[in-house]
A and B are shown apart, each in its own frame.
Chain A
Amino acid sequence: MITVDRLTVSYGKFTAVDDISFTAQPGRVTGFLGPNGAGKSTTMRVMVGLTPATSGQVTIGGLRYHDIPNPGVHIGSLLDASAQHAGRTGREILTIGAQTMGLPKKRVDEMIELVGLTDSESARRLRNYSLGMRQRLGLAHALLGDPSVLILDEPANGLDPAGIRWMRGLLKGYADRGGTVLLSSHLLHEVEQIADEMILIGHGKIVARGDKATLLAGANSTAVAMVTSLDNLTLGNALTAAGHGVEPAGTGLKVLATPEQVGRIALASGVVLTDLRAGGAGLEDLFLELTSATAREAVPGMAPPAPIPGGIPA
Protein backbone atom coordinates (compact mmCIF):
# COMPACT_ATOMS: atom_id res chain seq x y z
CA MET A 1 0.00 0.00 0.00
CA ILE A 2 2.77 2.41 0.91
CA THR A 3 5.56 2.11 -1.63
CA VAL A 4 8.83 3.91 -1.08
CA ASP A 5 10.77 3.82 -4.31
CA ARG A 6 14.46 4.75 -4.33
CA LEU A 7 13.80 7.73 -2.10
CA THR A 8 16.61 10.19 -1.47
CA VAL A 9 16.37 13.42 0.50
CA SER A 10 19.42 15.67 0.65
CA TYR A 11 20.04 18.95 2.38
CA GLY A 12 23.00 20.41 0.56
CA LYS A 13 25.81 17.95 1.08
CA PHE A 14 24.03 16.11 3.89
CA THR A 15 21.98 13.12 2.78
CA ALA A 16 19.24 12.44 5.32
CA VAL A 17 17.62 9.60 3.38
CA ASP A 18 19.84 7.68 1.00
CA ASP A 19 18.19 5.72 -1.80
CA ILE A 20 15.78 3.62 0.27
CA SER A 21 13.02 1.37 -1.03
CA PHE A 22 10.43 -0.60 0.90
CA THR A 23 6.74 -1.32 1.02
CA ALA A 24 4.22 -1.43 3.83
CA GLN A 25 1.49 -3.97 3.14
CA PRO A 26 -2.20 -3.88 4.03
CA GLY A 27 -3.19 -6.06 6.98
CA ARG A 28 0.25 -5.73 8.54
CA VAL A 29 2.02 -3.54 11.00
CA THR A 30 5.33 -2.38 9.59
CA GLY A 31 7.85 -1.13 12.12
CA PHE A 32 10.29 1.54 10.99
CA LEU A 33 13.25 1.51 13.31
CA GLY A 34 16.37 3.50 13.71
CA PRO A 35 18.30 5.72 16.12
CA ASN A 36 17.65 9.43 16.37
CA GLY A 37 18.48 11.23 13.15
CA ALA A 38 18.47 8.07 11.04
CA GLY A 39 15.98 9.52 8.57
CA LYS A 40 12.71 7.99 9.82
CA SER A 41 10.81 11.23 10.29
CA THR A 42 12.11 12.69 7.04
CA THR A 43 10.87 9.63 5.15
CA MET A 44 7.47 9.90 6.81
CA ARG A 45 7.21 13.61 6.02
CA VAL A 46 7.88 12.82 2.38
CA MET A 47 5.04 10.27 2.49
CA VAL A 48 2.49 12.93 3.39
CA GLY A 49 3.92 15.58 1.08
CA LEU A 50 5.42 17.85 3.73
CA THR A 51 9.01 17.37 2.60
CA PRO A 52 9.96 17.30 -1.07
CA ALA A 53 11.94 14.27 -2.24
CA THR A 54 15.30 15.05 -3.81
CA SER A 55 14.87 11.98 -6.00
CA GLY A 56 12.69 8.89 -6.01
CA GLN A 57 9.13 8.91 -4.77
CA VAL A 58 6.57 7.59 -2.36
CA THR A 59 3.16 6.40 -3.46
CA ILE A 60 0.23 5.31 -1.35
CA GLY A 61 -2.18 2.99 -3.11
CA GLY A 62 -0.35 3.88 -6.31
CA LEU A 63 -0.95 7.61 -5.92
CA ARG A 64 1.30 10.44 -4.87
CA TYR A 65 -0.05 12.13 -1.74
CA HIS A 66 -0.79 15.36 -3.63
CA ASP A 67 -3.07 13.49 -6.02
CA ILE A 68 -5.21 11.91 -3.31
CA PRO A 69 -8.48 13.83 -2.92
CA ASN A 70 -9.31 14.69 0.69
CA PRO A 71 -6.28 12.69 1.89
CA GLY A 72 -7.32 12.78 5.56
CA VAL A 73 -10.04 10.16 5.00
CA HIS A 74 -7.55 7.77 3.38
CA ILE A 75 -4.36 8.32 5.31
CA GLY A 76 -4.20 9.08 8.99
CA SER A 77 -0.90 10.54 10.07
CA LEU A 78 0.64 11.52 13.37
CA LEU A 79 4.05 13.08 12.80
CA ASP A 80 4.42 15.34 15.82
CA ALA A 81 1.80 15.38 18.55
CA SER A 82 2.93 18.78 19.76
CA ALA A 83 2.59 20.48 16.38
CA GLN A 84 -0.80 21.99 17.15
CA HIS A 85 -1.87 25.45 18.23
CA ALA A 86 -1.18 25.47 21.98
CA GLY A 87 -4.17 27.73 22.60
CA ARG A 88 -6.77 25.36 21.18
CA THR A 89 -8.58 22.74 23.20
CA GLY A 90 -8.15 19.09 22.23
CA ARG A 91 -11.77 18.95 21.14
CA GLU A 92 -11.36 22.06 18.99
CA ILE A 93 -8.30 20.60 17.26
CA LEU A 94 -10.29 17.48 16.37
CA THR A 95 -13.30 19.55 15.31
CA ILE A 96 -11.17 21.55 12.88
CA GLY A 97 -9.80 18.33 11.42
CA ALA A 98 -13.27 16.78 11.13
CA GLN A 99 -14.62 19.94 9.51
CA THR A 100 -11.82 20.02 6.95
CA MET A 101 -12.45 16.40 6.04
CA GLY A 102 -16.21 16.97 5.96
CA LEU A 103 -17.03 14.55 8.78
CA PRO A 104 -19.98 14.70 11.15
CA LYS A 105 -19.36 16.20 14.58
CA LYS A 106 -20.14 12.97 16.41
CA ARG A 107 -16.97 11.51 14.94
CA VAL A 108 -15.03 13.85 17.24
CA ASP A 109 -16.82 12.50 20.33
CA GLU A 110 -16.26 8.94 19.18
CA MET A 111 -12.52 9.47 18.72
CA ILE A 112 -12.14 11.25 22.05
CA GLU A 113 -13.78 8.27 23.70
CA LEU A 114 -11.74 5.77 21.69
CA VAL A 115 -8.39 7.19 22.77
CA GLY A 116 -9.49 7.47 26.39
CA LEU A 117 -9.52 11.22 26.89
CA THR A 118 -12.15 12.39 29.36
CA ASP A 119 -14.58 15.19 28.61
CA SER A 120 -12.75 17.57 30.92
CA GLU A 121 -9.39 16.67 29.35
CA SER A 122 -10.74 17.30 25.87
CA ALA A 123 -11.86 20.76 27.01
CA ARG A 124 -8.34 21.68 28.13
CA ARG A 125 -6.00 23.67 25.95
CA LEU A 126 -3.16 21.76 24.33
CA ARG A 127 -0.48 23.67 26.24
CA ASN A 128 -1.77 22.00 29.40
CA TYR A 129 -1.55 18.50 27.93
CA SER A 130 1.11 16.02 28.97
CA LEU A 131 3.06 14.36 26.17
CA GLY A 132 1.04 11.18 26.65
CA MET A 133 -2.24 13.09 26.28
CA ARG A 134 -0.92 14.79 23.16
CA GLN A 135 -0.08 11.41 21.67
CA ARG A 136 -3.60 10.16 22.41
CA LEU A 137 -5.07 13.27 20.84
CA GLY A 138 -2.78 12.90 17.83
CA LEU A 139 -3.86 9.29 17.43
CA ALA A 140 -7.51 10.41 17.64
CA HIS A 141 -6.78 12.96 14.91
CA ALA A 142 -5.12 10.34 12.72
CA LEU A 143 -8.11 8.02 13.10
CA LEU A 144 -10.78 10.71 12.52
CA GLY A 145 -11.36 10.03 8.87
CA ASP A 146 -11.47 6.24 9.30
CA PRO A 147 -8.43 5.90 7.02
CA SER A 148 -7.11 2.69 5.50
CA VAL A 149 -3.48 3.71 6.01
CA LEU A 150 -1.86 4.93 9.24
CA ILE A 151 1.52 6.67 9.32
CA LEU A 152 2.67 7.21 12.89
CA ASP A 153 5.98 8.75 13.94
CA GLU A 154 6.99 7.61 17.42
CA PRO A 155 3.40 7.24 18.61
CA ALA A 156 4.39 5.51 21.85
CA ASN A 157 6.60 8.41 22.90
CA GLY A 158 5.39 9.68 26.25
CA LEU A 159 2.73 7.02 26.76
CA ASP A 160 2.75 5.16 30.06
CA PRO A 161 3.11 1.35 29.97
CA ALA A 162 -0.64 0.88 30.08
CA GLY A 163 -0.99 3.38 27.25
CA ILE A 164 1.61 1.57 25.17
CA ARG A 165 -0.20 -1.73 25.68
CA TRP A 166 -3.50 -0.08 24.74
CA MET A 167 -1.98 1.37 21.58
CA ARG A 168 -0.51 -1.99 20.59
CA GLY A 169 -3.95 -3.54 20.82
CA LEU A 170 -5.50 -0.72 18.86
CA LEU A 171 -2.99 -0.90 16.00
CA LYS A 172 -2.98 -4.69 15.91
CA GLY A 173 -6.74 -4.71 15.60
CA TYR A 174 -6.58 -2.03 12.96
CA ALA A 175 -4.15 -4.08 10.84
CA ASP A 176 -6.18 -7.26 11.40
CA ARG A 177 -9.15 -5.48 9.81
CA GLY A 178 -7.02 -4.89 6.71
CA GLY A 179 -5.48 -1.53 7.49
CA THR A 180 -1.90 -0.62 6.64
CA VAL A 181 0.12 0.58 9.62
CA LEU A 182 3.58 2.07 9.44
CA LEU A 183 4.99 3.16 12.75
CA SER A 184 8.43 4.37 13.62
CA SER A 185 10.30 4.08 16.85
CA HIS A 186 13.80 4.28 18.24
CA LEU A 187 12.77 1.85 20.98
CA LEU A 188 12.82 -1.64 19.63
CA HIS A 189 10.89 -3.41 22.35
CA GLU A 190 7.94 -1.14 21.65
CA VAL A 191 7.74 -2.41 18.12
CA GLU A 192 8.94 -5.99 18.16
CA GLN A 193 5.74 -7.23 19.78
CA ILE A 194 3.36 -5.84 17.20
CA ALA A 195 5.32 -5.39 14.01
CA ASP A 196 4.82 -8.10 11.39
CA GLU A 197 7.75 -6.73 9.51
CA MET A 198 10.55 -4.41 10.49
CA ILE A 199 12.64 -1.99 8.49
CA LEU A 200 15.86 -1.02 10.26
CA ILE A 201 17.38 2.22 9.11
CA GLY A 202 20.65 3.86 10.07
CA HIS A 203 22.25 6.95 8.64
CA GLY A 204 19.61 7.20 5.90
CA LYS A 205 20.12 3.66 4.63
CA ILE A 206 18.16 0.49 5.27
CA VAL A 207 20.48 -1.85 7.18
CA ALA A 208 18.11 -4.79 7.63
CA ARG A 209 14.54 -5.81 7.07
CA GLY A 210 12.30 -8.76 7.68
CA ASP A 211 10.11 -10.24 10.37
CA LYS A 212 11.39 -10.85 13.86
CA ALA A 213 12.41 -14.48 13.26
CA THR A 214 14.31 -13.70 10.09
CA LEU A 215 16.18 -10.86 11.70
CA LEU A 216 17.08 -12.96 14.74
CA ALA A 217 18.22 -15.85 12.56
CA GLY A 218 20.54 -13.45 10.82
CA ALA A 219 21.75 -11.99 14.10
CA ASN A 220 22.56 -15.44 15.56
CA SER A 221 25.31 -15.87 13.00
CA THR A 222 27.35 -13.68 15.30
CA ALA A 223 27.95 -15.57 18.52
CA VAL A 224 27.48 -13.58 21.69
CA ALA A 225 28.05 -14.74 25.24
CA MET A 226 27.15 -13.08 28.49
CA VAL A 227 29.61 -13.80 31.26
CA THR A 228 30.08 -12.76 34.86
CA SER A 229 33.10 -13.71 36.92
CA LEU A 230 34.86 -12.88 40.15
CA ASP A 231 37.56 -11.03 38.19
CA ASN A 232 36.00 -9.40 35.17
CA LEU A 233 39.08 -7.28 34.48
CA THR A 234 41.46 -10.21 34.08
CA LEU A 235 38.90 -12.20 32.10
CA GLY A 236 38.18 -9.20 29.86
CA ASN A 237 41.86 -8.69 29.13
CA ALA A 238 42.32 -12.39 28.36
CA LEU A 239 39.33 -12.36 26.02
CA THR A 240 40.53 -9.23 24.26
CA ALA A 241 44.01 -10.76 23.92
CA ALA A 242 42.36 -13.77 22.29
CA GLY A 243 40.79 -11.46 19.76
CA HIS A 244 37.19 -11.37 20.99
CA GLY A 245 35.20 -8.16 21.26
CA VAL A 246 34.32 -7.34 24.85
CA GLU A 247 32.11 -4.74 26.46
CA PRO A 248 30.77 -4.31 29.97
CA ALA A 249 27.18 -5.40 30.39
CA GLY A 250 25.57 -4.95 33.78
CA THR A 251 27.70 -6.70 36.41
CA GLY A 252 29.42 -8.80 33.78
CA LEU A 253 30.73 -8.75 30.24
CA LYS A 254 29.25 -9.22 26.82
CA VAL A 255 31.63 -11.08 24.53
CA LEU A 256 31.58 -11.71 20.81
CA ALA A 257 32.38 -15.39 21.16
CA THR A 258 30.63 -18.67 21.92
CA PRO A 259 30.14 -19.66 25.56
CA GLU A 260 32.55 -22.54 24.96
CA GLN A 261 35.32 -20.17 23.79
CA VAL A 262 34.72 -17.98 26.83
CA GLY A 263 34.73 -20.95 29.16
CA ARG A 264 38.05 -22.20 27.81
CA ILE A 265 39.70 -18.80 28.11
CA ALA A 266 38.37 -18.50 31.69
CA LEU A 267 39.78 -21.88 32.51
CA ALA A 268 43.14 -21.00 30.98
CA SER A 269 43.38 -17.72 32.90
CA GLY A 270 42.09 -19.23 36.12
CA VAL A 271 39.12 -16.93 36.63
CA VAL A 272 36.05 -18.21 38.52
CA LEU A 273 32.87 -17.80 36.49
CA THR A 274 29.62 -17.09 38.30
CA ASP A 275 27.44 -16.90 35.18
CA LEU A 276 27.89 -17.89 31.55
CA ARG A 277 25.22 -18.15 28.90
CA ALA A 278 24.65 -17.81 25.18
CA GLY A 279 24.38 -14.16 24.42
CA GLY A 280 21.13 -12.27 24.61
CA ALA A 281 20.91 -11.89 20.90
CA GLY A 282 17.58 -10.18 21.23
CA LEU A 283 16.50 -7.69 18.69
CA GLU A 284 17.82 -4.96 20.94
CA ASP A 285 21.40 -6.15 20.44
CA LEU A 286 20.86 -6.66 16.78
CA PHE A 287 19.48 -3.20 16.50
CA LEU A 288 22.42 -1.66 18.32
CA GLU A 289 24.90 -3.69 16.31
CA LEU A 290 23.38 -2.77 12.99
CA THR A 291 23.13 0.87 13.74
CA SER A 292 26.21 1.34 15.92
CA ALA A 293 28.38 2.44 13.04
CA THR A 294 25.88 5.15 12.33
CA ALA A 295 24.52 5.93 15.78
CA ARG A 296 25.89 8.75 17.85
CA GLU A 297 27.34 6.41 20.47
CA ALA A 298 29.34 3.61 18.91
CA VAL A 299 29.40 0.52 21.10
CA PRO A 300 32.98 0.32 22.37
CA GLY A 301 34.90 -2.87 21.80
CA MET A 302 32.30 -4.33 19.46
CA ALA A 303 33.20 -5.51 16.01
CA PRO A 304 31.82 -3.38 13.21
CA PRO A 305 28.37 -4.54 12.13
CA ALA A 306 28.31 -7.33 9.61
CA PRO A 307 25.61 -7.15 6.98
CA ILE A 308 22.75 -9.42 7.93
CA PRO A 309 22.16 -12.16 5.40
CA GLY A 310 18.74 -13.61 4.84
CA GLY A 311 16.73 -10.43 5.09
CA ILE A 312 13.64 -10.37 2.92
CA PRO A 313 14.35 -8.31 -0.17
CA ALA A 314 11.72 -5.73 -0.98
Chain B
Amino acid sequence: MSTAPLTLDLSKSGPVPFGRIVTVEWRKMVDTKSGIWLMAITGGLLALVMALVVLIVGLNNGQVSARDLVQIFTFPVSILIPVFGILVVTSEWSQRNNLTTFTLEPHRLRVMGAKLVAVSALAVGTIALAFVLGALTNLLCGAVTGNPLVWDLDASQLAWTVVTQMAFFAMGYALACLLLNTPGAIALFYVVALVLPLVVWGPLYFIFDWAKDVLPWIDINTALSPLTTGANFAGEPVDVELINYVQGAWTLILWVGIPVTLGLWRILRAEVK
Protein backbone atom coordinates (compact mmCIF):
# COMPACT_ATOMS: atom_id res chain seq x y z
CA MET B 1 0.00 0.00 0.00
CA SER B 2 1.35 3.34 -0.96
CA THR B 3 -0.09 5.37 1.92
CA ALA B 4 2.73 7.18 3.65
CA PRO B 5 3.13 6.03 7.25
CA LEU B 6 1.28 8.43 9.50
CA THR B 7 3.28 9.90 12.30
CA LEU B 8 2.80 9.77 16.03
CA ASP B 9 1.73 12.90 17.86
CA LEU B 10 4.98 13.34 19.74
CA SER B 11 3.83 16.64 21.25
CA LYS B 12 2.04 14.74 23.99
CA SER B 13 5.19 13.19 25.41
CA GLY B 14 8.72 14.02 26.41
CA PRO B 15 11.20 11.38 27.48
CA VAL B 16 10.47 9.67 30.80
CA PRO B 17 12.47 11.69 33.38
CA PHE B 18 15.16 9.70 35.19
CA GLY B 19 13.79 10.75 38.58
CA ARG B 20 10.43 9.22 37.72
CA ILE B 21 12.05 5.88 36.86
CA VAL B 22 13.90 5.99 40.19
CA THR B 23 10.61 6.62 42.02
CA VAL B 24 8.98 3.72 40.20
CA GLU B 25 11.90 1.38 40.89
CA TRP B 26 11.77 2.36 44.57
CA ARG B 27 8.09 1.53 44.64
CA LYS B 28 8.77 -1.83 43.01
CA MET B 29 11.20 -2.73 45.81
CA VAL B 30 8.64 -2.23 48.55
CA ASP B 31 5.32 -3.24 46.96
CA THR B 32 5.72 -7.02 47.08
CA LYS B 33 5.60 -9.37 50.02
CA SER B 34 9.15 -10.55 49.37
CA GLY B 35 10.46 -6.98 49.50
CA ILE B 36 8.55 -6.19 52.67
CA TRP B 37 9.71 -9.41 54.33
CA LEU B 38 13.34 -8.79 53.44
CA MET B 39 13.15 -5.35 55.02
CA ALA B 40 11.28 -6.65 58.06
CA ILE B 41 13.91 -9.37 58.53
CA THR B 42 16.74 -6.86 58.27
CA GLY B 43 15.07 -4.54 60.78
CA GLY B 44 14.21 -7.45 63.05
CA LEU B 45 17.75 -8.79 62.95
CA LEU B 46 19.19 -5.40 63.87
CA ALA B 47 16.73 -5.11 66.76
CA LEU B 48 17.63 -8.63 67.88
CA VAL B 49 21.35 -7.82 67.79
CA MET B 50 20.65 -4.71 69.83
CA ALA B 51 18.69 -6.64 72.45
CA LEU B 52 21.31 -9.39 72.69
CA VAL B 53 24.20 -6.95 73.12
CA VAL B 54 22.39 -5.01 75.86
CA LEU B 55 21.43 -8.27 77.57
CA ILE B 56 24.92 -9.77 77.50
CA VAL B 57 26.66 -6.56 78.50
CA GLY B 58 24.10 -5.98 81.23
CA LEU B 59 24.41 -9.51 82.64
CA ASN B 60 28.20 -9.47 82.62
CA ASN B 61 28.48 -5.84 83.66
CA GLY B 62 30.75 -5.71 80.62
CA GLN B 63 32.11 -2.90 78.56
CA VAL B 64 31.52 -2.26 74.87
CA SER B 65 33.00 0.42 72.70
CA ALA B 66 31.57 2.08 69.63
CA ARG B 67 34.22 0.30 67.58
CA ASP B 68 32.99 -3.13 68.73
CA LEU B 69 29.42 -2.14 68.05
CA VAL B 70 30.15 -1.10 64.49
CA GLN B 71 31.66 -4.56 63.90
CA ILE B 72 28.66 -6.26 65.47
CA PHE B 73 26.00 -4.23 63.71
CA THR B 74 27.51 -4.23 60.25
CA PHE B 75 27.46 -8.03 60.20
CA PRO B 76 23.69 -8.48 59.62
CA VAL B 77 23.78 -5.49 57.31
CA SER B 78 26.56 -6.94 55.21
CA ILE B 79 24.72 -10.26 54.97
CA LEU B 80 21.33 -8.89 53.95
CA ILE B 81 21.84 -5.61 52.10
CA PRO B 82 23.48 -7.23 49.06
CA VAL B 83 20.37 -9.38 48.70
CA PHE B 84 18.41 -6.19 47.99
CA GLY B 85 20.96 -5.32 45.33
CA ILE B 86 20.57 -8.78 43.79
CA LEU B 87 16.78 -9.02 43.92
CA VAL B 88 16.17 -5.60 42.43
CA VAL B 89 17.82 -6.91 39.26
CA THR B 90 17.04 -10.62 39.15
CA SER B 91 13.36 -10.46 40.12
CA GLU B 92 12.65 -8.62 36.86
CA TRP B 93 13.97 -11.60 34.97
CA SER B 94 12.54 -14.38 37.14
CA GLN B 95 9.11 -12.72 37.25
CA ARG B 96 9.47 -11.61 33.60
CA ASN B 97 8.05 -8.16 34.28
CA ASN B 98 11.13 -6.80 32.48
CA LEU B 99 8.94 -7.27 29.41
CA THR B 100 6.82 -4.35 30.61
CA THR B 101 9.67 -2.41 32.18
CA PHE B 102 11.77 -2.34 29.02
CA THR B 103 8.73 -1.67 26.85
CA LEU B 104 7.84 1.45 28.80
CA GLU B 105 11.49 2.57 28.89
CA PRO B 106 13.40 0.98 26.01
CA HIS B 107 16.65 2.61 27.10
CA ARG B 108 17.63 -0.26 29.32
CA LEU B 109 20.69 1.40 30.85
CA ARG B 110 18.46 4.13 32.28
CA VAL B 111 16.33 1.50 33.98
CA MET B 112 19.39 -0.30 35.35
CA GLY B 113 20.79 3.03 36.55
CA ALA B 114 17.49 3.92 38.22
CA LYS B 115 17.47 0.55 39.95
CA LEU B 116 21.00 1.16 41.24
CA VAL B 117 20.06 4.62 42.58
CA ALA B 118 16.91 3.34 44.28
CA VAL B 119 18.52 0.31 45.87
CA SER B 120 21.61 2.33 46.90
CA ALA B 121 19.35 4.73 48.76
CA LEU B 122 17.88 1.75 50.55
CA ALA B 123 21.36 0.41 51.37
CA VAL B 124 22.57 3.74 52.71
CA GLY B 125 19.39 4.07 54.75
CA THR B 126 19.88 0.63 56.26
CA ILE B 127 23.51 1.32 57.11
CA ALA B 128 22.45 4.60 58.74
CA LEU B 129 19.79 2.72 60.71
CA ALA B 130 22.45 0.24 61.86
CA PHE B 131 24.66 3.10 63.06
CA VAL B 132 21.78 4.75 64.92
CA LEU B 133 20.83 1.48 66.59
CA GLY B 134 24.50 0.88 67.43
CA ALA B 135 24.77 4.29 69.07
CA LEU B 136 21.54 3.66 70.97
CA THR B 137 22.91 0.31 72.10
CA ASN B 138 26.03 2.03 73.42
CA LEU B 139 23.88 4.49 75.39
CA LEU B 140 21.65 1.68 76.69
CA CYS B 141 24.64 -0.43 77.76
CA GLY B 142 26.07 2.57 79.57
CA ALA B 143 22.74 3.16 81.28
CA VAL B 144 22.37 -0.51 82.26
CA THR B 145 25.89 -1.04 83.58
CA GLY B 146 26.74 2.46 84.68
CA ASN B 147 30.11 2.10 82.93
CA PRO B 148 31.50 5.16 81.10
CA LEU B 149 30.61 5.39 77.40
CA VAL B 150 33.37 4.79 74.90
CA TRP B 151 33.00 6.61 71.54
CA ASP B 152 36.28 5.51 69.97
CA LEU B 153 35.28 5.98 66.32
CA ASP B 154 36.62 8.60 64.02
CA ALA B 155 34.98 9.85 60.86
CA SER B 156 37.44 8.10 58.56
CA GLN B 157 36.75 4.71 60.14
CA LEU B 158 33.05 5.28 59.84
CA ALA B 159 33.42 6.34 56.23
CA TRP B 160 35.51 3.28 55.35
CA THR B 161 32.98 1.02 57.04
CA VAL B 162 30.30 2.52 54.79
CA VAL B 163 32.58 2.07 51.77
CA THR B 164 33.13 -1.60 52.59
CA GLN B 165 29.41 -2.22 53.04
CA MET B 166 28.63 -0.45 49.80
CA ALA B 167 31.37 -2.41 48.02
CA PHE B 168 29.76 -5.71 48.96
CA PHE B 169 26.35 -4.34 48.11
CA ALA B 170 27.63 -3.20 44.70
CA MET B 171 29.16 -6.65 44.18
CA GLY B 172 25.70 -8.15 44.76
CA TYR B 173 24.22 -5.85 42.12
CA ALA B 174 27.07 -6.59 39.70
CA LEU B 175 26.85 -10.38 40.07
CA ALA B 176 23.07 -10.13 39.64
CA CYS B 177 23.51 -8.24 36.37
CA LEU B 178 25.99 -10.87 35.24
CA LEU B 179 23.84 -13.92 36.06
CA LEU B 180 20.26 -12.51 35.88
CA ASN B 181 19.19 -15.38 38.10
CA THR B 182 18.23 -15.06 41.77
CA PRO B 183 19.52 -18.32 43.29
CA GLY B 184 22.67 -18.25 41.17
CA ALA B 185 23.54 -14.66 42.06
CA ILE B 186 22.83 -15.11 45.79
CA ALA B 187 24.86 -18.33 45.91
CA LEU B 188 27.80 -16.81 44.03
CA PHE B 189 27.66 -13.74 46.23
CA TYR B 190 27.86 -15.75 49.45
CA VAL B 191 30.63 -17.94 48.08
CA VAL B 192 32.73 -14.89 47.17
CA ALA B 193 31.83 -12.76 50.20
CA LEU B 194 31.63 -15.38 52.97
CA VAL B 195 32.66 -18.91 52.08
CA LEU B 196 35.92 -18.20 50.26
CA PRO B 197 37.25 -15.77 52.92
CA LEU B 198 36.43 -18.18 55.77
CA VAL B 199 37.28 -21.49 54.16
CA VAL B 200 39.99 -20.72 51.62
CA TRP B 201 41.52 -17.25 51.94
CA GLY B 202 41.79 -17.41 55.76
CA PRO B 203 43.81 -20.64 55.96
CA LEU B 204 45.97 -19.65 52.97
CA TYR B 205 46.69 -16.29 54.53
CA PHE B 206 47.92 -17.78 57.77
CA ILE B 207 49.79 -20.75 56.29
CA PHE B 208 51.59 -19.34 53.27
CA ASP B 209 53.65 -16.18 53.15
CA TRP B 210 52.93 -15.63 49.45
CA ALA B 211 49.22 -15.52 50.21
CA LYS B 212 49.76 -12.33 52.25
CA ASP B 213 50.95 -10.64 49.06
CA VAL B 214 48.49 -12.26 46.66
CA LEU B 215 45.18 -12.24 48.52
CA PRO B 216 44.87 -8.44 48.82
CA TRP B 217 44.72 -8.49 45.02
CA ILE B 218 41.86 -11.01 45.03
CA ASP B 219 39.66 -10.50 48.08
CA ILE B 220 37.79 -7.25 48.80
CA ASN B 221 37.90 -7.79 52.56
CA THR B 222 41.62 -8.45 52.67
CA ALA B 223 42.28 -5.46 50.45
CA LEU B 224 40.07 -3.02 52.34
CA SER B 225 40.95 -4.18 55.84
CA PRO B 226 44.03 -1.90 56.25
CA LEU B 227 41.98 1.07 55.05
CA THR B 228 39.00 0.36 57.28
CA THR B 229 40.64 -0.78 60.51
CA GLY B 230 44.28 0.20 60.10
CA ALA B 231 45.15 -3.47 60.54
CA ASN B 232 45.74 -6.24 58.01
CA PHE B 233 43.63 -9.37 57.59
CA ALA B 234 45.42 -11.01 60.51
CA GLY B 235 44.71 -8.03 62.76
CA GLU B 236 48.28 -6.72 62.82
CA PRO B 237 48.48 -2.93 62.64
CA VAL B 238 49.85 -1.69 59.33
CA ASP B 239 50.76 1.67 57.89
CA VAL B 240 48.41 2.48 55.06
CA GLU B 241 50.35 3.01 51.85
CA LEU B 242 49.46 3.80 48.28
CA ILE B 243 49.45 0.11 47.41
CA ASN B 244 46.54 -0.46 49.80
CA TYR B 245 44.46 2.02 47.87
CA VAL B 246 45.51 0.41 44.59
CA GLN B 247 44.58 -3.04 45.90
CA GLY B 248 41.25 -1.75 47.19
CA ALA B 249 40.44 -0.15 43.84
CA TRP B 250 41.55 -3.24 41.92
CA THR B 251 39.42 -5.68 43.94
CA LEU B 252 36.46 -3.38 43.31
CA ILE B 253 37.19 -3.47 39.59
CA LEU B 254 37.52 -7.25 39.77
CA TRP B 255 34.29 -7.97 41.68
CA VAL B 256 32.14 -4.98 40.74
CA GLY B 257 33.49 -3.26 37.63
CA ILE B 258 34.09 -6.32 35.45
CA PRO B 259 30.88 -8.25 36.25
CA VAL B 260 28.71 -5.15 36.01
CA THR B 261 30.21 -4.23 32.63
CA LEU B 262 29.73 -7.73 31.24
CA GLY B 263 26.27 -7.93 32.78
CA LEU B 264 25.04 -4.60 31.41
CA TRP B 265 26.48 -5.44 28.00
CA ARG B 266 24.45 -8.63 28.09
CA ILE B 267 21.30 -6.85 29.31
CA LEU B 268 21.61 -4.28 26.52
CA ARG B 269 21.90 -6.90 23.82
CA ALA B 270 19.77 -9.70 25.16
CA GLU B 271 16.36 -10.55 23.87
CA VAL B 272 13.68 -10.03 26.51
CA LYS B 273 11.05 -12.75 26.42
Contact = CB atoms under 8 A, between A and B. Distances in A.
Interface of A: 1, 3, 23, 25-26, 45, 48-52, 59-63, 65-66, 68-74, 77, 79-80, 82-88, 92-93, 96-97, 99-102, 141, 148-149, 312, 314
A59 B9 contact: no
Contacts of A52: 269, 271
Contacts of A149: 8
Contacts of A61: 5-8
A199 to B, nearest CB: 12
Contacts, number: 119
Contacts of A314: 1
B271 A101 contact: no
A99 B3 contact: no
Interface string B1-44: 10101111110111110001101100110011110000000000
A96 B27 contact: yes
A184 B96 CA distance: 21
B68 interface: no
A113 to B, nearest CB: 21
Contact of B6 (A26, A101, A141): A26
Given A3-B5, A148-B9, A83 B97 contact: yes
B95 A63 contact: no
Q: Is the interface of B mostly helix, strand, loop or mixed?
A: loop
B10 A69 contact: yes
Interface of B: 1, 3, 5-10, 12-16, 20-21, 23-24, 27-28, 31-34, 91, 95-97, 99-100, 102-107, 269, 271-273
Contact of A69 (B15, B23, B95): B15
B8 A63 contact: yes
Given A45-B272, A50-B273, A74-B13, A65 B21 contact: no
Contact of A97 (B91, B96, B100): B100
Nearest to A95: B27
A84 B99 CA distance: 8
Nearest to B10: A69
Given A70-B15, A87-B33, A96 B28 contact: yes
B95 to A, nearest CB: 4
Contacts of A141: 100
Contact of B271 (A51, A82, A87, A93): A51
